């Protein structure tokens, strides 16, 4: 079967999944349209998680800049999945410097650990924030010193609903979605052997993806350690 064009639409996913189940959209047997859609969207979310774990910020990256705090908080977009960097525009001439996002329970401990450091020698702002639900909350005693912030984050892909809605998962990884969704539907129909065979096909592709990611990401992990000077990025 020819690979789907990129980006794939929901209709493309549905037809490919049903083809793996040896049926057509007119004779779906055990599966309603809602069940098929749920299986496809579940598989898409799982595939996105794999790509984020393996490639970090290579995919699903969004930048939001010129952010002004509202008092002590910044309200996050509803689709924020993982924050990669949080920066403040400071200094003369102005430049972006990293701001720490710390566990709110450990904010005081983190403050004393960095209280004698300066922006100059760490390239890191001394202000500290915590992510609490859909907010970034400043952990200082008053309002944050910065007036403009920049946020880079991984966004949660939205569920596909209409036939012509497109998926941001790159084309080379779309078979992971197809095989996993088909496996789920086969298991729901009691076709255990077929379900396991489909999941095995999916796992073979996932193993190849993990090997490729490991070889491509060695340099990036080293740079991350050096750049952040031992700090763990949340």
The residue-averaged pLDDT of 29-40 equals 88
Which has more pLDDT, 113 or 144? 144
pLDDT of residue 3: 47
pLDDT digits (tens, 9 = 90+) for 156-185: 999 999 999 999 999 989 999 999 999 999
Chain centroid to CA 17: 24
Question: 133 in the Ramachandran plot: left (φ > 0), alpha (ψ -120 to 50) or beta?
Answer: left
Band the pLDDT of 216: cuts 50, 70, 90.
confident
pLDDT of residue 139: 85
Which has more pLDDT, 111 or 197? 197
pLDDT exceeds 80 at position 143: yes
The residue-averaged pLDDT of 62-71 equals 94
pLDDT exceeds 50 at position 229: no
pLDDT of residue 220: 54
Q: Name residue, tokens 């924020």.
A: 80
pLDDT digits (tens, 9 = 90+) for 70-120: 999 999 999 999 999 999 988 778 889 899 888 887 766 655 555 544 444
Burial (CB < 10 A; 0-12, 13-18, 19+), residue 159, is middle
pLDDT of residue 217: 65
Per-residue CA distances from 72 to 3, 7, 114, 222 (Å) = 49, 40, 20, 34
pLDDT of residue 151: 96
pLDDT exceeds 70 at position 25: no
Structure tokens at 100: 């720490």
Least confident of 135-139, 143-147, 229-233: 229-233
pLDDT of residue 223: 41
Write down the mean pLDDT value for the chain.
Answer: 82
Pairing label, strands 95-101, 80-90: antiparallel
Q: Select from 4, 1, 13 the least CA-distant residue to 164.
A: 13
pLDDT of residue 27: 52
pLDDT of residue 21: 87
Residues 106, 108, 112, 114, CA torsion sign: positive
Can you list the alpha helix ranges (DSSP code H) found in the chain?
A: 10-20, 33-55, 107-114, 119-122, 174-188, 192-228
């Amino acid at each position: 079967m020819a690979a789907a064009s990129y980006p794939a639409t929901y209709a493309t996913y549905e037809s490919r999944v049903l083809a793996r189940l040896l049926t057509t959209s007119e004779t779906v047997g055990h599966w309603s349209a809602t069940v098929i859609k749920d299986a496809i969207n579940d598989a898409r979310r799982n595939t996105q998680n794999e790509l984020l774990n393996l490639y970090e910020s290579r995919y699903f990256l969004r930048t939001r800049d010129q952010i002004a705090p509202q008092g002590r908080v910044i309200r996050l977009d509803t689709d924020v999945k993982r924050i990669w960097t949080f920066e403040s525009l400071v200094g003369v001439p102005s430049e972006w410097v990293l701001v720490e996002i710390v566990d709110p329970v450990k904010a005081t401990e983190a403050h004393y650990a960095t209280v004698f450091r300066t922006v100059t020698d760490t390239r890191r702002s001394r202000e500290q924030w915590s992510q609490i639900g859909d907010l970034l909350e400043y952990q200082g005693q008053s309002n944050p010193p910065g007036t403009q912030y920049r946020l880079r984050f991984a966004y949660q892909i939205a569920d596909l609903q209409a036939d012509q809605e497109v998926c941001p998962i790159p084309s080379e990884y779309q078979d992971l979605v197809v095989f996993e969704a088909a496996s789920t539907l086969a298991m729901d129909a009691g076709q255990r052997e077929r379900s396991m065979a489909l999941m095995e096909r999916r796992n073979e592709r996932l193993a190849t993806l993990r090997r490729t990611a490991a070889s491509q990401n060695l340099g990036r992990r080293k740079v991350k350690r050096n750049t952040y000077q031992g700090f763990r990025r949340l």
